[in-house]
């Protein structure tokens, strides 16, 4: 994945950003309280049920099962991610576990007949049940920096993707620019990793989303860069309370 798709993450400005975050200075946030709760795995079989052993079912069952274990094992302060990002910059099995509409669309788009849905639906249910325990605790961290106008750029990019977005927090991960260069060593653009933590009525699962937006400036020559623009990257489910 190239640098523009990795997300993987002053007191004088404090008044300007109070609308999106509680200021304690521009570059600090509350320390992580490490969750030491023991992991308890559900008693769910690692292999597909009898009659579900096709290559297609085995492939999806295997990745969904790994997702279930990641959801169960997430602990604040120990895990940097909630679950792996899979195809299309998302984890489809987590979404099928928590979102009724996404599950319906997934089963339909994969042309899984009703008689075969018992191969995967119980696993999706298990993911959804585990997410109710751990997903509310998953929040963005590290996006605590604010430069003039960048919060607005991030918000505008999010609004294009999600018009009814309600913002809990917005920020970039570092005030420093990352430089992307051409094969000849000249800059092509520079960018910062940005994020918005949002609520929306669009989500039918009761969870919020962390939406990633890079702040990008194209190189114009002579050591100069153009105006900043937002480049929406992806989103992932998260809890809704700070």
Does residue 153 fall inside a structural domain? yes
Indicate whether 121 and 194 sit together in one domain: no
- Ramachandran angles phi, psi of 231, nearest 5°: -120, 100
The reply to whether 124 and 162 lie within a common domain is no
Q: Within a domain: residue 162?
A: yes
Do 159 and 129 lie in one domain? The reply is no
Shared domain check, 111 and 151: no
40 part of a folded domain: no
What is the rounded CA–CA span in Å between residue 22 and residue 19? Answer: 8
Kindly state whether residues 155 and 175 are assigned to the same domain.
Answer: yes
Domain boundary (113, 137, 161) is at: 137
Q: What is the structure's pLDDT at 28?
A: 76
Q: What is the mean pLDDT of each run of 10 residues along the chain (242 residues)?
A: 40 35 55 92 93 92 97 94 92 98 97 94 98 97 91 97 97 96 95 98 97 98 96 97 83
Same domain membership, residue 180 and residue 155: yes
- H helices of the chain, in order, are 14-17, 55-73, 92-98, 100-109, 121-134, 150-161
What pLDDT was estimated at residue 27? 64
The model's pTM: 0.85
The residues pairing with 211 across neighbouring beta strands, listed in sequence order, are 196, 235
- 99 with 133, same domain: the answer is yes
Model pLDDT for residues 76-94, shown as the tens digit of each residue:
999 889 999 998 899 999 9
Is the backbone of residue 148 left (phi > 0), alpha (psi -120 to 50) or beta? beta
**C-alpha–C-alpha distance, residues 215 and 230, integer Å:** 5
190 domain residue, yes or no: yes
Which domain-ending residue is among 137, 160, 177? 137
Number of domains in the chain: 2
Q: In the listed set 106, 137, 168, which residue is the last one of a domain according to the structure?
A: 137
Task: Please check whether residue 176 lies inside any domain of the structure.
Answer: yes
Based on the fold, state whether residues 116 and 161 are members of the same structural domain: no
Residue 112 lies in a domain: yes
**Which domain covers residue 68, as residue numbers?**
55-137
Domain assignment present for 211: yes
Question: What residues contact 177, with CB distance under 8 A and at least 6 apart?
Answer: 190, 191, 192, 217
In a domain, 46, yes or no: no
């Amino acid at each position: 994945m190239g640098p523009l798709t990795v997300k993987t993450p002053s007191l004088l400005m404090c008044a300007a950003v109070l609308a999106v975050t509680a200021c304690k200075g521009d570059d600090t946030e509350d320390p992580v309280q490490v969750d030491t709760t023991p992991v308890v795995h559900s008693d769910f079989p690692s292999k597909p049920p009898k009659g579900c052993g096709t290559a297609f079912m085995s492939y999806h069952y295997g990745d969904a099962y790994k997702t279930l274990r990641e959801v169960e094992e997430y602990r604040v302060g120990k895990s940097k991610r909630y679950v792996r990002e899979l195809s299309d910059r998302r984890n489809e099995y987590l979404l099928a576990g928590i979102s009724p509409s996404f599950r319906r669309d997934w089963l339909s788009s994969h042309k899984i007949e009703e008689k075969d849905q018992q191969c995967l639906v119980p696993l999706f249910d298990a993911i959804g049940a585990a997410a109710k325990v751990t997903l509310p605790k998953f929040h963005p961290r590290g996006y605590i920096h604010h430069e003039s106008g960048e919060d607005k750029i991030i918000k505008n990019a999010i609004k294009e993707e999600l018009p009814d977005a309600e913002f809990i927090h917005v920020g970039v991960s570092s005030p420093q620019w990352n430089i992307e260069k051409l094969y000849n060593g000249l800059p092509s653009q520079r960018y910062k990793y940005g994020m918005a933590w949002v609520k929306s009525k669009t989500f039918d699962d009761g969870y919020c989303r962390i939406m990633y937006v890079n702040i990008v400036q194209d190189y114009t020559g002579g050591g100069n860069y153009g105006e900043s623009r937002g480049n929406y990257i992806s989103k992932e489910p998260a809890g809704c309370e700070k």
